[in-house]
Amino acid sequence: MNVHCPLLLLTLGQVALFDPALKWAVDHPPTLFAWEGACIWIPCKFRMPTYQARLQEVFLYHNYDFDNDTKKFKGSVLYNNTRIESSPSEYGRVTFMGNRRDNCTLKIHPIHTSDSGKLGLRMVSGGDKWMEPIYLNISETPFPPYIKVPSEIRASQSVTLTCELKFACFGYPIHLEWSLKEPEATSFSTITVNKICTESTLTFQPEWTDHGKNVTCRVLHDTKVLSESTVCLDVKHTPQLKMEVSPREVMKGDSVTMTCQVVSSNPKYGTVSWFKDGHRLQEKTLTLTLHDATKDMTGKYRCRVSNDLGPGQSEEVALTVLFAPEPSKVHIYHPPAEEGQPIEMICESAASPRATNYTWYHNREVVAGEIQEKLRIPKVSLRHAGTYSCLAENRLGRGQMDEEAELDVQYAPKMVTTVVQSSTPIREGDSVTLACRYNSSNPEVTSYQWDPAGPGNQMAPGVLRMEKVTWDSRPIRCAACNHRCSWASPVSLDVHYAPKAVRVLQVNPRSSEIRAGQSVLLQCGFSRSHPAEVHFFWKKNGSFVQEGRDLSFSSVSPEDSGSYSCMVSNSIGETLSETWDLRVLYAPRRLRVSISPGDSVMEGKKATLSCESDANPPVTQYAWLDSSGQDLHFSGPRLRLEPLKVQHTGSYRCRGINMLGTGESPPSTLTVFYSPETIGKRAALGLGFCLAICILAIWGMKFQKKWKRNQSQQGFQENSSGQSFFVRNKKVRRTPLSEDPQPQGCHNPMMDDSVSYAILRFPETDAPRAGDAGSSGTPGPPPNNDDTVTYSVIQKRHMGDYENVTPSCPEDDSIHYSELVQFGAGKRPEAKEDVEYVTLKH
């Protein structure tokens, strides 16, 4: 099974490649057209039945047939190529433009009429062969193009004409040209297996005047016209009319005839209508006759003729019926007239021809110099009021006067005044009544206005009540109003008031900084006062200083500093200025050191030293000095000492500095005294010291007596049963932890080298030592040859805590061992370091 599978797949593949159901497929135009001497291009595409096969041989026959005996095609061979190597491939007049895969395009140049008929394209690929028939139609002369025209062409509508020639060949250029030069036409060629042609399109909007015109399309090779075709335009349009009137001016009572001429209509026209000034008339023929003309027949006439596409209208023609002016009347534009405004009147009178001369009347009197149809008054006044009439005249005669017009001249209220009805003079805060008066008005006054608006309440029409008028009340005016307002002249209330804007002015010095010793000049200023006569007063910190406008200081001092104000008074009242602060700048002075809580403070507490100063500007830098004048290197205004020590006792001074100078305080003394605890400790220390001296003195006396008693004994026996020793422990004096002064009571020199005593007793022996003068012959207990070592533990007495201060030389709390060896006849052992042996005889 596995062996036969590949063979089966190969067999199926070969069957698929050579399936007889698959045939040759060749695409090309069925028939191609050309003329003698031109060329012909045969676009061709093919597909072979075998997959991925290649075309090997190509033949082109003319008028071929098939020989059943030889089983071959016979005919004139135009192209024979048994090996296709590259494209294009030429063979006589025929060029193969295709390839071996899918293109079988051919070109024949030149072409002859004898080439007409059937061509056979023979293609061979291995065992696959195919003969494809191709038909040629070759004429002796170039054939004309074909012009495609729309089924209907309407005037003023866009239309497109197409000129088509069933010929196109690369290498034989042709183009199509239209007889209409505008608009410009577009031309292009199409060569595909489905269609070969050259086309040109012409798009334009024909007018009714183009109806019946010929349009030609020409075929050109280079500049030579080869052929052409012509069509006649059938442009559909509405009727085109022309109207004639004779005569156009007719006297009243005469007759006139109008004719409507149809210039063109496609299709033919049908109904006819006449119109006067847009209104349809009864006449329905192409001729309109008016008998016994009247002035109402004057107007514009036109005719209308319709066909299947719609109506066509003629241009309007004016008919004028002549007559003399009719009775005239005056029309006033936009009455009533406003005083001071322009007004225009027109004399209306029907006349044909129009009136050329006019006569105007005012209150039935002729207005001189006015002969125009319109009477214009540029600026109306009261004298122009009254009645107006006019007469019109033309070349046929003079008309009559019909109606008069009344000119009503309206104006704003006249001679408006504002009247102050309150008593004068008016003081600030008083109430004032004002009235608005006028002389005349057309139409009558309907309202009143006040400027400034809203200063009070209107009690009655034209009467204003103002409560509590202010000193700066603006001049007030009123207006009396109808449809226009007339304003009165402003009236000043002349309000009397106390001085305003009173203020202190610094005249000298100009600088804002005032230093002690400078000359200072202040002035009392104010903005206004009514009445103008005033008096000046000065106050310092609310107390009267002097009278007069100026306040001067020849040499200002810090004591002059304060809040100054000036007061200005007149007959109405007085006004006090805002306070003005006089700040005198000076160096620090009157410095003093204050001590809190007092000059005497117990040690361990805290004390605050404050530097009090008088300076402007304030002191910016402080320095503290002790009694010797040395700087304590502290720059704040307060010096805090905590905790206090006796050593802080002394005098202190402070120094203050600002931008103007330096000041120094006198010394202040701080006394720090001992606390009760310190006093108790010191008393206890003194008592203890005295008691120790007394004990040592008594002990020394006893020792001296004992020593003298021992010296009085005879001789010394080494084996005496009463040998006594004392051991002295030498203490090494340690270096203090620091070299600072030690507190009182830390060091007791009497206790540096203390001596502890121990009485040691040894057992008695029988053998006397050599050299013992007082030896006894009495036998004793058996001798003990072992050296007996006896230890004495000596504990040094601890010193009591003195003033809660740790001594700088700490006491030695160690256990001291004294090694004692019984002295025999031999050599004594060497004493160890730091132990001294003393032999006491008794």
String of DSSP letters for 69-100? TTTEEEEEEEEEESS--SSSEEETTEEE---S
| Residue percentage of the chain with pLDDT more than 90 | 44
Q: Is there a contact between 211 and 267 (Cβ–Cβ < 8 Å)?
A: no
- Per DSSP (E only), the strands in 659-788 are 661-664, 668-673, 724-729, 756-757
Q: Is the pLDDT of residue 644 over 50?
A: yes
Confidence of residue 763 (pLDDT cuts 50, 70, 90): very low
| pLDDT band at 387; cut points 50, 70, 90 | very high
pLDDT digits 0-9 by tens, 439-473: 999 899 999 999 988 778 888 898 999 888 988 88
CA 466 to chain centroid: 52
Query: What is the bridge-based pairing of β-strands 357-362 and 386-394?
Result: antiparallel
- pLDDT of residue 350 exceeding 60, the answer is yes
pLDDT of residue 417: 94
Q: How far is CA 546 from CA 178, 394, 539, 566, 629, in A?
A: 119, 100, 7, 10, 49
Count CB neighbours of 389 within 10 A.
19
The separation between the first and the last C-alpha atoms of the chain, rounded to the nearest angstrom, is 143
Task: Tell the residue number behind the tokens 């140049």, with chain if given.
Answer: 109
Instruction: Evaluate if residue 578 carries a pLDDT over 70.
Output: yes
| β-strands 756-757, 789-794 pairing | unpaired
* pLDDT for the residue numbered 111: 93
C-alpha Rg value of the chain to the nearest Å:
76
Query: What pLDDT, in 10s, does the model give residues 58-69?
Result: 999 999 998 888
Q: If residue 10 lies in a helix (H) or strand (E), which one and from where to where?
A: helix 4-17
- pLDDT at residue 744 tops 70: no
Q: Which residues pair with 236 in a beta bridge?
A: 154
Least-confidence region, from 168-182, 353-367, 648-662, 819-833: 819-833
**Long-range contacts, stretch 66-70, CB < 8 angstroms, 24+ apart:** 66/131
Residues near 572 by Cβ (< 8 Å), separated by ≥ 6?
427, 428, 496, 497, 498, 530, 531
Residue 731 is predicted with a pLDDT of 39
Higher pLDDT, 641 or 730: 641
Choose from 450-459, 498-507, 709-718, 776-785 the range with maximum mean pLDDT: 498-507
pLDDT at 145: 95
Q: Among 202-211, 355-364, 483-492, 761-770, whose mean pLDDT is lowest?
A: 761-770
Which three-class secondary structure state does DSSP give residue 166?
coil
What is the average per-residue pLDDT within 495-524?
A: 90
Instruction: Tell me which of 190-204, 243-257, 334-348 is least confident.
Output: 243-257
Per residue in 213-241, pLDDT (tens digit) is: 999 999 999 889 999 999 999 999 999 99
Q: Which residues of 774-810 are buried (b: 16+ CB within 10 A; e: fewer)?
A: eeeeeeeeeeeeeeeeeebebebeeeeebeeeebbbe
**CA–CA gap between residue 289 and residue 244 (Å, rounded):** 12
- Exposed/middle/buried for residue 510 (C-beta within 10 Å: 0-12, 13-18, 19+): exposed
Helices and strands in the chain, H and E counts: 2, 72
Paired tokens of 632: 């304590």
Report the distance separating Cα 564 and Cα 560, nearest Å: 10
- pLDDT at position 660 is 87
Q: What is the mean pLDDT of residues 476-504?
A: 92
Any idea which of 318-327, 648-657, 755-764, 765-774 has the lowest mean pLDDT?
765-774
DSSP state of 759: -
The pTM of this model reads: 0.42
Sorting pLDDT into bands at 50, 70 and 90, what band is 723?
Answer: very low
Distance of CA 337 to the CA centre of its chain: 58
Q: What is the pLDDT of residue 776?
A: 35
Confidence grade of residue 82 (pLDDT, cut at 50, 70, 90): low
Query: What's the distance, CA 548 to chain centroid?
Result: 61
Strands (E), 247-385: 249-251, 256-266, 272-276, 279-280, 287-290, 299-307, 310-313, 317-322, 328-332, 337-338, 343-348, 357-362, 365-366, 374-377
pLDDT tens digits, one per residue of 14-73: 333 445 457 899 999 999 999 999 999 999 999 998 877 888 889 999 999 988 888 888
Q: State the Cα angle at 384 between 379 and 390, rounded to 5°.
A: 110
